[in-house]
Homo-oligomer: A and B are copies of this chain.
Amino acid sequence: MNPSEDALKRLKIADGHLRGVIRMMEEDAYCIDVIRQIQAVQAALNKASTVILENHLNSCVITAIRGEDPAERERVLREITDVFDTATKT
């Protein structure tokens, strides 16, 4: 399984999990149990993001840094800083 397939599979599992959480809410499950399941979905989404970033670093980022376009290189590095910054806040 390549990294994209791995990430896609993780996202689909997270989505199945999230739909389960929605059913819990519809069936008036205990609030704390719902929150815990939401936190589990988020941990799964974190892992999917990490897999996608790893793939990105090993493809687009290497290409951009080795390329001859300084603006493109700067853009690609700036994006990584941005998603890292957001990751520290979510």
Interface residues of A (CB under 8 A from B): 4, 7-8, 11-12, 14-15, 18-19, 21-22, 25-26, 28, 30-32, 34-36, 38-39, 41-43, 45-50, 52-62, 65-66, 73, 77-81, 83-90
Q: In the complex, which of the residues B34, B56, B65 contacts A32, with contact meaning CB atoms closer than 8 Å?
A: B56
Q: Can you give 29 contacting A-B residue pairs, CB < 8 Å? A: A8-B25, A11-B38, A15-B18, A18-B18, A31-B59, A32-B83, A35-B49, A36-B86, A38-B45, A38-B49, A38-B52, A39-B49, A39-B86, A39-B90, A42-B45, A42-B46, A45-B45, A46-B88, A46-B89, A46-B90, A47-B85, A49-B88, A50-B88, A53-B81, A54-B78, A58-B77, A62-B73, A84-B84, A84-B87
